[in-house]
Amino acid sequence: MFLKLESRGEANRNMVYLTPVLAVILTLITGFFLFLAMGHDPFEALYTFFIYPISNSYGISELLVKATPIILCAIGLSMGFRANVWNIGAEGQLTLGAIFGGTVALMFYEQEGWYIIPLMMVAGVVGGALWAAIPAFLKTRFNANEILVSLMLTYVAFQLLSYLVHGPLRDPDGYNFPESRLFSDSAIVPILWEGTRFHVGGLFALLAVVAGWLMISRHLIGFQIRVIGMAPMAASYAGFSEKKLIWFTLLLSGGLAGLAGMFEVSGPVGQLVPSISPGYGFTAIIVAFLGRLHPVGIMMAGLLVALTYLGGESGQITLGLPEAVTGVFQGMLLFYLLASDVLIKYRVVPNFGTAKS
């Protein structure tokens, strides 16, 4: 090795908050050259990708619609990540929330009533939390790795949803399309912004941000989460139960992901279909880290990453860019964030490995 990493000593506090900004700038610069290499005018492409989608009020509302499930998932995940509980399966928990919430909607499809939406929300939370309870049980009982269990359960959830919309929950009048009935009006979440798709779910995402912030900075549970993440021995010294915190963080993140899934089917989608989310649950992992595992950071990061979804769509429509561009931009964001993190803690120095004497 000709290069090695050398600690810079105490990390500069400001830099901790600056790195996400740096990561965004680096992503834009790389994007510039990427578009250039693809034979597009980079300025036009970047404009199409990042500015055009939010240049009108409808675009902004769509940004909020996309950010809602991402932020809900990421807030839950960040709590687990802080406690070293690595729930990678928010996508699956989101799917289960959609299945549970959607099933309630279909059960009441001929009825009207204010209680249907709250019931669906409860069902969504329960569905997501149940799915997350599986890795929690296996980890606390058998010390099974929650990363693998939660990730693999995601694919089980996809199959479950696929089975349901092809079978028991398929619309009887739907010409055998693998879709459920359209939900009744009482099972569609109220729209907050007239003429757009921005719905009540956005308020719950905001609520999750504020509640998450209060919890992590002021509440005993948040304190326990931070202590166990930073110094497990100190947590045991203080008498905090690691098992309880594993259960709590997994149920919380599962529940919030389930709520996000319920809002997706009850809002923008309006029925159960074979694919509920374009990977919001996975994107939320990036968002949690991009937001420094801090609720307010996550809100901002969620909005930014939601923009990559919109930009990807607008790039496909206007410039004929491949859909993969969205994934590339999200990947670059995470890559640059992690790289900047390392370089802020360490400097790269040439490695000669001999004494100068």
Binding site for another protein (CB under 8 A): 214, 218-221, 223, 226-227, 230-231, 233-234, 236-239, 241, 353-357
Residue number, 35 or 240, with CB nearest to another protein = 240
Q: Which residues contact 345 (CB under 8 A, 6 or more apart)?
A: 7, 8, 11
In angstroms, what CA-CA distances link 327 with 115, 277, 282, 322? Answer: 39, 14, 11, 10
Nearest distance from C-beta of residue 13 to another protein, angstroms: 11
Nearest distance from C-beta of residue 355 to another protein, angstroms: 3
Residue number, 184 or 241, with CB nearest to another protein = 241
Nearest to 22 by CA among 310, 343, 307, 294: 343
The alpha carbon of residue 282 and the mean position of all alpha carbons in its chain are separated, in whole angstroms, by: 6
Residue number, 177 or 237, with CB nearest to another protein = 237
Nearest distance from C-beta of residue 101 to another protein, angstroms: 29
Residue number, 176 or 357, with CB nearest to another protein = 357
Q: Which amino acid is at 163?
A: Y
Q: Give dist(CA 56, CA 21) in Å, integer.
A: 24
Q: Give dist(CA 58, CA 65) in Å, integer.
A: 10
Q: DSSP assignment, residue 54? A: G
Residue number, 141 or 218, with CB nearest to another protein = 218
Nearest distance from C-beta of residue 216 to another protein, angstroms: 11
Neighbour tally for 118: CB within 10 Å:
11
Token representation of residue 168:
């028991």
Q: Which amino acid is at 1?
A: M
Q: Give dist(CA 129, CA 255) in Å, integer.
A: 4
Nearest distance from C-beta of residue 83 to another protein, angstroms: 13
Residue number, 201 or 222, with CB nearest to another protein = 222
Please give the span between the terminal C-alpha atoms of the chain, in angstroms, as a whole number: 22
Nearest distance from C-beta of residue 6 to another protein, angstroms: 8
